[in-house]
Amino acid sequence: MKIQEAKYVMSNSDYLKCPAPDKPEYAFIGRSNVGKSSLINMLVAKKSLAKTSQQPGKTQLINHFEINNSWYLVDLPGYGYAKVSKTEREKWETMISDYLYNRENLLCTFVLVDIRHSALAADLEFMAGLGEAGIPFNIIFTKADKLKAYQVANQLEAYTTKLAELWEEVPTFFVTSAEKGEGREPILETIETYNETFSKNA
């Protein structure tokens, strides 16, 4: 897939106020500081479409970006650690779950995981929640450039072994580096395949 146009559309705290659900949609979410904004910018080949920050918890709303006038990329707030109050965090969690569980044109959620870490409870619990709700998701391992190739292989083996204990089938996953553009094509090809199913069912 060639990205010809990527533009910011709107930000909301309520899924009911999001754009009309007439185009396929893909959500990107992960723990705070997982490299989500950098990955989004790499995917659409725009340096500052999504705002990157050293400060965890920068994304606080449901952010819609329209790609090629044909699908939406949605940047969601992170879960887990962020320097915000418990009340604020609970508000985010409700906003995110309302969106994920009710957005009818959401075809796939991409869960971002920092490949440098072993399987964290927050990530596994989040994926389990998606699985229980029947929400399709793929895993994107980020920051592969921070490790040597053999370390990436070891981390993947350990992580997929853990997933195999919890899932009958290990979820689809991608290994990426926003710095090097690694993983871009496979993710965009997957989105393109989903887009085709949306237009067939439309």
CATH code of 161's domain? 3.40.50.300
Number of domains in the chain: 1
51 lies in some domain: yes
74 lies in some domain: yes
Per-residue tokens: 78: 């992170």
Q: What pLDDT is stored for residue 86 in this prediction?
A: 78
- The pTM (predicted TM-score) of the whole model is 0.92
Mean pLDDT over 14-29 rounds to 96
Q: How is 110-163 classified by DSSP, letter by letter?
A: EEEEETTSPPPHHHHHHHHHHHHHT--EEEEEE-GGGS-HHHHHHHHHHHHHHH
- The 10s digit of each residue's pLDDT in 152-198 is 999 999 999 999 999 999 999 999 999 999 999 999 999 999 999 99
Rg (alpha carbons) of the chain, rounded to whole number: 16
166 lies in some domain: yes
150 lies in some domain: yes
Closest among 138, 150, 154, 144 to 182, alpha carbons compared:
144
Per-residue tokens: 124: 């596994």
**Beta pairing, strands 71-75 & 137-142:** unpaired
105 lies in some domain: yes
- The 10s digit of each residue's pLDDT in 83-124 is 667 787 788 889 999 999 999 999 999 999 999 999 999 999
139 lies in some domain: yes
Q: What pLDDT is stored for residue 28 in this prediction?
A: 97
1 lies in some domain: no
Contact 96, 76 (CB under 8 A): yes
57 lies in some domain: yes
Cα dihedral: 92, 143, 112, 123 (round 10): -80
Sheet holding 6-12, edge to edge: 6-12, 62-67, 71-75, 25-30, 106-114, 137-142, 173-175
Residues in the chain: 202
Structural domain for 113, as ranges = 6-201
